[in-house]
Amino acid sequence: MNVTLKIRRFNPERDREPWWGTYTVEAESTDRLLDALNHVKWYQDGTLTFRRSCAHGVCGSDAMLINGSNALACKVLLKDLGQHVTVEPLRGFRVIKDLLVDLEPFFAKYRQVKPYLITASAPPANERLQSPAERERYDDTTKCILCGACTTACPSFWANPAYIGPAAIVNAHRFIFDSRDEGAEERLSILNTADGVWRCRTIFNCVEACPRGINVTRAIGEVKQALLYRKL
Ligand code: SF4
Ligand code: FES
């Protein structure tokens, strides 16, 4: 099949405004969008810039706006996109070049919620044990690959870039509900602000955008409930 890619291009060293580049690629219907982007870069225009690494939906590098929805380029098949595909950078972050956005503010918010095990008590002789039910409590939020698709699909974030965003809350949830962790109060107080968890207006775009199928809105709701009722 022939696929036409309309890609939003921008090189701040050369362009005053973003512009649309149009490229036609001959591809198999079972190819991924990433294959088509690679084809453009390798055979048509080597200046096209985008992030990718694993090519298997694991590293979270290639989230982009594809036909108007956030997705990983390595996880969407061309046959599901049609013969005319529009590709844009994630919304809400500074474009460094073409589809490459500056994710530093995103990772700064991730670091803000202390996404690591915090313990104050003395370590047990062997290991910190956890029952299967306790592990299940936060299983969904362990699946996050930090692709940024949820945060950049969120109108609350577009309207207020200071909002900590769904991805950071998901990663706080992963530790807040971990029975071995002792830093929940610290994380909850970080999120208990107008630009923290309360900026979420339950719009659900994040759930639709998440390539890992995480119920992001439910996780945010559980953090809100923990704040209101301290039910961990
Ligand atoms: S919650 Fe889902 S969409 Fe958000 S950063 Fe994690 S994997 Fe990506
Ligand atoms: S390139 Fe790693 S998730 Fe797509």
Mean pLDDT of 206-212: 98
Superfamily classification of domain 104-229? Alpha-helical ferredoxin (1.10.1060.10)
The whole model's pTM is what? 0.95
Q: What value does the mean pLDDT of the chain take?
A: 97
- For ligand 2, the distance from its centroid to the CA atom of residue 179, given in whole angstroms, is 31
Nearest ligand, CA 149:
1
Nearest ligand, CA 142:
1
CA-CA distance, 153 to 100, in Å (whole number)?
Answer: 16
* Boundaries of every domain in the chain: 2-101, 104-229
Nearest CA to ligand 2 atom 3: 57
Please compute, for residue 58, the number of CA atoms within 13 A of its CA located in the half-sphere on the CB side: 4
Assign 3-class secondary structure to 2-40: EEEEEEEECCCCCCCCCEEEEEEEECCCCCEHHHHHHHH
Give the pLDDT confidence score for residue 207 in this predicted structure: 98
- For ligand 2, the distance from its centroid to the CA atom of residue 160, given in whole angstroms, is 28
- For ligand 1, the distance from its centroid to the CA atom of residue 72, given in whole angstroms, is 11
Give the pLDDT confidence score for residue 177 in this predicted structure: 98
- CATH classification of 2-101, choosing from 3.30.9.10, 3.40.50.1970, 3.40.640.10, 3.10.20.30? 3.10.20.30
Asked if 76 and 37 touch (Cβ cutoff 8 Å), the reply is no
Is residue 107's pLDDT more than 90? yes
Nearest ligand, CA 51:
2
Nearest ligand, CA 154:
1
- For ligand 1, the distance from its centroid to the CA atom of residue 29, given in whole angstroms, is 27
pLDDT band at 59 (very low <50, low <70, confident <90, very high): very high
Is the CB–ligand 1 distance for residue 146 below 6 Å? yes
Structure tokens at 172: 């706080």
Asked if 165 and 92 touch (Cβ cutoff 8 Å), the reply is no
Mean pLDDT of 208-219: 98
Mean pLDDT of 85-93: 98
Nearest CA to ligand 1 atom 7: 144
Give the pLDDT confidence score for residue 230 in this predicted structure: 77
Nearest CA to ligand 1 atom 3: 210
Is the CB–ligand 2 distance for residue 74 below 6 Å? yes
pLDDT band at 231 (very low <50, low <70, confident <90, very high): low
Asked if 149 and 97 touch (Cβ cutoff 8 Å), the reply is no
CA-CA distance, 220 to 23, in Å (whole number)?
Answer: 40
CA-CA distance, 62 to 20, in Å (whole number)?
Answer: 19
- For ligand 2, the distance from its centroid to the CA atom of residue 115, given in whole angstroms, is 21
Give the pLDDT confidence score for residue 232 in this predicted structure: 56
CA-CA distance, 77 to 58, in Å (whole number)?
Answer: 16
